Amino acid sequence: MKGYMLIGGKRVFKSKEIEILFPYDNSVVGTIPDGDAEDVKLAVDVALKGFEKMKKLSAYDRYSILSKAARILSNRSYEIAELLTKEVGKTIRESMGEVGRAVNTLTLSAEEAKRIAGEEVNFEAAPGIKGKVGFYRRVPLGVIGCITPFNFPLNLTCHKVGPALAAGNSVVIKPSENTSLVVIRLAEILIEAGFPPEAVNVVTGYGEKAGDALVRDERVRMITFTGSVETGKIIMSRGGLKKYAMELGSNAGVYIDEDQSEKLEFIAEKVCRGGFALAGQVCISVQRVFVHDSLFDDFIEKAVEFAKTLKVGNPLDQTVDMGPVIDVQAADRIMEWINEAVSAGAKLVCGGKRVSDTVIEPTIVIDVPEDVRLFKGEIFGPVIAVNRVANVEEAIEKVNLSRYGLQAGIFTNDLKAAFKFAEEVEAGGIMINEIPTFRVDQMPYGGMKESGIGREGPSYAIEEMTEIKTICFDLS
């Protein structure tokens, strides 16, 4: 499959290309152009014209086009899902789930297009002011640069592009070089649905060239990015005076309280599914589990029992539960972190072996020291670290031993413990009697600390992607 850049509705090819590989066996899925600063400049030139055309669309127009795009995407579900599986390596069932979520995200964005509003400003509340009336409106920013990750290339692109277009902006998308083909398909669907071709642009290539040029372009009014903390910091240091939305990952923690013995089998399964979905390559994957000491041994027994039932292998096989990680380099790093933890005193109780170059068994490691990368960093692989704690106070302390703060969870029947956890854990989302991997696309989603800046979820993203214009009339 020969990919291309999409600039002003035109397919742009280049002699220098990047291969996209199927993570399961490294077979070639397709190619994309190796874009550079000149391609980005052209895309932004075109997007500025696209913004002028977007200004002529009414809120109802934007609602109608996004709704139509959602219907088109829904009608092509299996075709898009198969491409997702080939690019990402997630199971075909996971890919169908992502397509369904992307349809919902576009639909939510469409609805929010009709709800963008301001309110009256009471100027006369200031001393000595009479005869002034007015209001503020939310207006679009202009060109928005959308830099999207490999793990959910369809839905997370919809989370950036859907609200941006709903608010009346134009976009330049720089997808991950690993998963660009499905993003190109999405952009074509948005244009087919009725958006001006100049308003939806895709530049493919590496972050160091195409991504960097997009970030540095002063005409780009906002960068919305999902990726690593390190890259996020680089973007903000280079981008200059513009708005940013940053979703930068996590090593999500969950606590299982002492009163959960009757639900332990159910919880163990949920925790494992939260840690091993998409081979652990989810920003809110369950990574650190803190279990009350009285339940620890029973929890480990049940978690290991469930983990061993999961079938790993070719993600195109409908019966497979977990596929590969994105590439060999990611698998090498994951294995290195597992081995480091075991060398430091942790105990491997399940998995820990490679099935192939990119497929790693679902892995559970217990008694993990707090100074190893498996505890401190973001593993982004099918590995769960489980440690004992004495009470909810200790659990809160351990969950907060992280530079991240995206989401966290607690399982408890104690209302006071639940409130204490919710109040004191430093995270953007707290899930009570649910794993931190839980997310619905309309909720405000984002983190504290180094997990990011801003919130996703169409209505909340639109606030980030607009600015306030105040209008005052002197009636005296």
Catalytic residue numbers, as ranges: 247, 283
Tokens 């372009």 belong to which residue? 217
Backbone angles phi, psi at 117, to 5 degrees: -150, 160
**Segment 304-310 long-range contacts (CB within 8 Å, at least 24 positions apart):** 304/349, 304/350, 304/364, 305/268, 306/268, 306/269, 306/272, 307/272, 307/276, 307/350, 307/351, 307/362, 307/364, 308/350, 308/362, 310/272, 310/276, 310/362
Contact status, residue 248 vs residue 229, Cβ threshold 8 Å: yes
Please name the helix (run of DSSP H) or strand (run of DSSP E) that holds residue 385, with its range, or none.
strand 383-389
Phi-psi region of 273 (alpha: psi -120 to 50; beta: other; left: phi over 0): alpha
Per 3-state DSSP, what percentage of the chain is helix, strand, and coil (rounded to 5)?
A: 40, 25, 35
**Per-residue tokens: 316:** 């195109």
**Per-residue tokens: 400:** 């907060």
Rounded Cα distance, 148 and 131, in Å: 49
Rounded Cα distance, 10 and 265, in Å: 54
Tokens 């998308």 belong to which residue? 173
Nearest residue to 358 via CA among 131, 22, 125, 28 = 22
Nearest residue to 188 via CA among 2, 8, 1 = 8
Rounded Cα distance, 205 and 88, in Å: 17
381 CB-side CA count, 13 A: 34
Rounded Cα distance, 92 and 84, in Å: 8
Query: What angle is formed at CA 250 by the lines to CA 247 and CA 251, rounded to 5 degrees?
Result: 170
Rounded Cα distance, 271 and 225, in Å: 28
Residues 345-355 as b or e (16 or more Cβ within 10 Å = b): ebebbbbbeee
